[in-house]
Structure 1
Amino acid sequence: MLLLLDRGSEFHSVNRLSQSLLHIAAFRGHNAAVNMWLDRGLDIDARDTTGRTALIIATKNGHQETVKLLCSRGGGYLAAKGRLDSPLLVAAQNRHCNVIDVALTLGATLDERGSSGDTALHAAIPHGRLHVVTHLLGLGVEVNARNKDGWTALHRAVYWCHFQIAEALLMAGADCNVKNKEGRTPEDMAGGQIHNKVMQKLLLNHKKHYPNLQRSCRAKILSVHAQNCREEYNQLQRTQIKKDVNLKDYLLFRDICY
């Protein structure tokens, strides 16, 4: 590559998506190539046809070290937002908890919003990113934040029929009674879906049993959810149900919903 450059090969050209060699290096997480193209003057804030900078591309593909490198070379976190949602939301949407943590050290905040008013928690839900949801809840994201349409994360989980995510949100304090701009609660949305009767039952039983659940119980359940492992959940049930009354209350409640 260096030999071709020394012989005068053109490195400022872009592909049909207006992506430069810097974009390609960021996509692949090749930090040496990123440094080389920046040293040769490629624009760190250049955008492709979809509005993505090299920083957004590295974020989408989970290359945390490349994200750090680009920011250290002048690819400002805030400058990367532009027409797209912030790197934090991009990381959440694409299931990269490691990049979420990096973004928070680079100036991101858990309350920042995308173009539609979504938080990172909203962004993690459509594709069923349970481990991202529990990670964000553990970081302290506002569970009842509403986007421009008045939707909370629970509205979205119900809409996409993600039962485990809805369950995790409820354990973290999601409000079943919040209405969106159409005046619909999550329970209303579940009731309108023929294939979502299990979700409706979850919400109904949660409203009945939630006042008796303690925060310590919710924290333990969220920890289990974060593992996304049914075997570990079963082990938790076997070893702790007899000595933890709060957990027993939850497990009994959960069994009602199956």
Structure 2
Amino acid sequence: MDRLVKAEAKEVEVMFLKGQKCSSSFKLTNLMHTMSVAVSLTTTNPSLFSINKHFSTIPPLSSASYTLHLSHTSGQPHLPDPPDAITVRATMLPTGKATVDHLRRLFSKPGPHVFRDAVLTISLVGPHVAEYLISRKPQSHNLFTKAISACTRSQLTELLKPAVENGSADAVAYLLDAGADATATAESLMPPAIRSGSLDVVKLLEASGCEIVESVLHEAAATDRIDVMEFLLERCDEKLEVDSVDSEGRTPIHVAAREGYVRVIEFCVSMGGNPNRVDCKGRTPLHYAAWKGHVKAVECLLECSDVKCVKDREGRTAFCVAAESEESDARRRLVDLLGLGDALMRAARVDDVQGVKRCLGEGASVNGRDQNGWTPLHWAAFKGRIKSVKVLLEHGAEVDTVDDAGYTPLHCAAEAGHLQLALFLITHGASQSHLKSFPYLAAHPLHFFDSFQNQVSLPSKSNTLMYH
């Protein structure tokens, strides 16, 4: 016979509860038909684990129960590798009875009479163990699945939050498979999942029916996660809008501008987001980018928005906010950047060609607008500044851009009586189709409109060249 006793299980699971007494019972059975056996039980960590009966006797074909006690539970669970264990040794006891001292002497003398019948692994299980494992990286998958096997469904659901916050996709998957309910939490787990930075966790929660709240796009924007935004907009297009607002009236573009995430701003705009939108305080995304000193974000917003002159509830433009920014290193660049448009407008108005070129070279938008929607080309045309008009067109100015009232630069030139400049704009593609829709031009006291129409209907080659 190779062993005298048999253990009911190869493992003893102890429910670990912080600050509480923890214990677990296990059973051994005597395999001998006619003879009692003596049993000795020892642990690999006697300072932490103790057994109620270190020495005992078991009658023939009988079983005995033992209790393993965990001595210290105030701190973190003790999870060594290899794990703690109970060693079971047995020897035949012909007399059937013996004192504890006699049994101690019997097992103190090694020899063929003593059988090492079993080694029982000690496993700490339960929600406190699982939560501790969630906080560890890398995690032991075997220990984790064992720990949650002793949890109730409500405990599994409670463990979802720390698993999500830790960004552990494996732990979330195991918990969901074991019965955790992602829809039963007091608050949606999706925002902390996004903050954790794990797209896999976001996907697991979405597939499990987790509530998708409106703030999820704001969370993704705040963490520079375009991949999360793409996934959520694709999967929840009926629930989410790229221009959704939070309690302060801010869109994801506001959030991205505040954090300086240019890629997110560009993505939101590409998905139909409005970079001109103001929040409850009248602030545009440009205000936030300027306030935080994010030069690249300001440059991006100047390209895709038209809000440089918009004032917030305190009467401040983005330029004013930039001047007050605490980010001293970026302040000068922002002030220059946000002021370049105004400088360009002034240079175009007074025909300062070198000033126009300097502003454009420093990054001013050639198609930037003022509070009335006028571009530098509108101003140069209205003032009859043909040299500035030429420079602006060479740098990509849109010849038919319209202001807030529907006027193009050609309208401005015509209304101001600048016939030669109007001809120049037409030779560079300006459309004449809407001139008659402006009664003021037709009713000009010098009958400008009629003479203008007669002279520009068939411009001669010489007239075209003289303006180059």
With normalisation by structure 1, the TM-score equals 0.68
1:199-229 deviation line (CA, Å, top 9, x unaligned): 1221121242667349xxxxxxxxxxxxxxx
- Amino acid of the residue matched to residue 57 of structure 1? P
- Amino acid of the residue matched to residue 127 of structure 1? E
- Amino acid of the residue matched to residue 211 of structure 2? G
Name 2:225's counterpart in structure 1: 96
| Alpha-carbon distance in 2 for matches of 1:116, 1:213 | 31
Change (3 A) 1:26 1:136: same
Match of 1:212 among 342, 350, 366: 366
| Alpha-carbon distance in 2 for matches of 1:123, 1:183 | 21
SS at match of 2:280: coil
| Alpha-carbon distance in 1 for matches of 2:257, 2:291 | 10
Name 1:254's counterpart in structure 2: none
Name 1:61's counterpart in structure 2: 196
Cα pair 2:292 2:325 within 8 Å, conserved: no
Structure index of larger Rg: 2
Deviation at 1:128, TM superposition (A): 2.2
Name 1:188's counterpart in structure 2: 320
Cα pair 1:46 1:54 within 8 Å, conserved: no
Change (3 A) 1:61 1:155: same
Deviation at 1:120, TM superposition (A): 0.3
- Amino acid of the residue matched to residue 71 of structure 1? E
Change (3 A) 1:34 1:212: same
Name 2:290's counterpart in structure 1: 158
Moved more, 38-47 or 165-174: 38-47
Q: Structure 1 residue runs of 4+, over 6 Å off?
A: none
Deviation at 1:165, TM superposition (A): 0.7
Name 2:456's counterpart in structure 1: none
Match of 1:37 among 158, 175, 198: 175
Deviation at 1:47, TM superposition (A): 5.0
Identity of aligned residues (%): 25
SS at match of 1:212: coil
- Amino acid of the residue matched to residue 67 of structure 1? V
- Amino acid of the residue matched to residue 212 of structure 1? V
Match of 2:301 among 166, 169, 191: 169
Structure 1 residue runs without a partner (length 5+):
215-243, 248-258
Deviation at 1:9, TM superposition (A): 4.2
Name 1:220's counterpart in structure 2: none
Change (3 A) 1:35 1:190: closer
- Amino acid of the residue matched to residue 286 of structure 2? L
| Alpha-carbon distance in 2 for matches of 1:163, 1:200 | 10
Name 1:145's counterpart in structure 2: 277
Cα pair 2:259 2:289 within 8 Å, conserved: no
Change (3 A) 1:64 1:193: closer
Name 1:111's counterpart in structure 2: 243
Change (3 A) 1:118 1:124: same
- Amino acid of the residue matched to residue 63 of structure 1? S
Match of 1:199 among 334, 337, 348: 334
Change (3 A) 1:205 1:31: same
Deviation at 1:61, TM superposition (A): 2.2
- Amino acid of the residue matched to residue 273 of structure 2? V
1:163-218 deviation line (CA, Å, top 9, x unaligned): 1111110011231111111121112223345842321221121242667349xxxx
Deviation at 1:132, TM superposition (A): 2.0
Cα pair 2:153 2:179 within 8 Å, conserved: no
With normalisation by structure 2, the TM-score equals 0.39
Count of aligned residue pairs for this structure pair: 204
| Alpha-carbon distance in 2 for matches of 1:74, 1:193 | 43
Structure 2 residue runs without a partner (length 5+):
1-143, 345-359, 369-393, 398-468
Deviation at 1:111, TM superposition (A): 1.2
SS at match of 2:193: helix
Tell me, yes or no, if structure 1 residue 134 matches structure 2 residue 262.
no
| Alpha-carbon distance in 2 for matches of 1:161, 1:118 | 19
Name 2:211's counterpart in structure 1: 76
1:41-94 deviation line (CA, Å, top 9, x unaligned): 43314557xx5x3222221223223222212211131xx34xxxx111000001
Cα pair 1:55 1:70 within 8 Å, conserved: yes
Cα pair 2:257 2:285 within 8 Å, conserved: yes
Name 2:161's counterpart in structure 1: 23
- Amino acid of the residue matched to residue 139 of structure 1? M
User: Larger relative CO (CA 8 A, sep 6+): 1 or 2?
Assistant: 1
